[in-house]
A and B are shown apart, each in its own frame.
Chain A
Amino acid sequence: MRELFTEHLIYWLILFLFMLGPYGMIFKKNLVKKLMSMNIMQVAVILFFLALGQKTGGTIPINLPGLIGAEHYINPLPHTLMLTAIVVSLATLGVSLGLLLTVQKRYGTLEEDELLRRMNQ
């Protein structure tokens, strides 16, 4: 049981979260919810990277006096990469909310079916 937890289950949960993104984007008809599923997907990627950097016996990657050696600290590289990824997700969110507002202003709806109907009029 413990093996399962440490080796697979966390990856599975993360990948489940990841696939929630495409699922929500296809099946949720509200554009705001599509946006949320996009964000959930990005968070899942971040979790995935952070999970890769885990290390038994490692502490947070900030230098402690007297504690020297790579085996004592968690790998800092995924953290760095994911800082960038978080920032990218915020940027995408800002742009897409702006787009949503414009769409709402013009077509008066954010439901996909209704939107398509009004666009074709």
Chain B
Amino acid sequence: MPGAFFLGFLVFLMAVTGLSALFARDLLASIIMFSAFSYFAVLTYLTMGAPDVAFTEAVVGVVSTTFFIVALRRMKRGSSK
């Protein structure tokens, strides 16, 4: 199955972006890496032949990134530093 290599590569990319989201110093960078993670998740779902799930993950990725950014904005504003 030739798709297997591509699939493996995509999951590997997910692991990389996920790790860098966890290890990024800056929270904003972390959130951006997290949305990249979400994007690769969409690609992986598409490769796995699940358009419905991919579509849902795409919109959920947008919404959750928005939530994160809005929350981050509030947190920065409220922080003592």
Contact = CB atoms under 8 A, between A and B. Distances in A.
Question: A and B, one complex?
Answer: yes
Interface of A: 2, 5-6, 9-10, 13-14, 16-17, 20, 24, 28, 30, 32-33, 36-37, 39-40, 43, 46-47, 50-51, 53-54, 56, 58-62, 74, 78-79, 82-83, 86-87, 89-90, 93-94, 97, 100-101, 104-105, 108-110
Interface of B: 1, 4-5, 7-8, 11-12, 14-15, 18-19, 21-22, 27, 30-31, 34, 37-38, 41, 44-45, 48-53, 56-57, 60, 63-64, 67-68, 71-72, 74-75, 78-80
A33 B30 contact: yes
Contacts of B37: 40, 43
A43 B35 CA distance: 12
Could you tell me the dominant secondary structure of chain A's interface residues?
helix
Contacts of A93: 64, 67
Contacts, number: 123
Contact of A79 (B12, B41, B53): B53
Given A10-B7, A109-B80, 15 more contacts: A2-B4, A13-B8, A28-B22, A32-B30, A33-B21, A40-B18, A40-B21, A46-B57, A56-B1, A58-B49, A79-B52, A90-B64, A101-B71, A101-B75, A105-B78
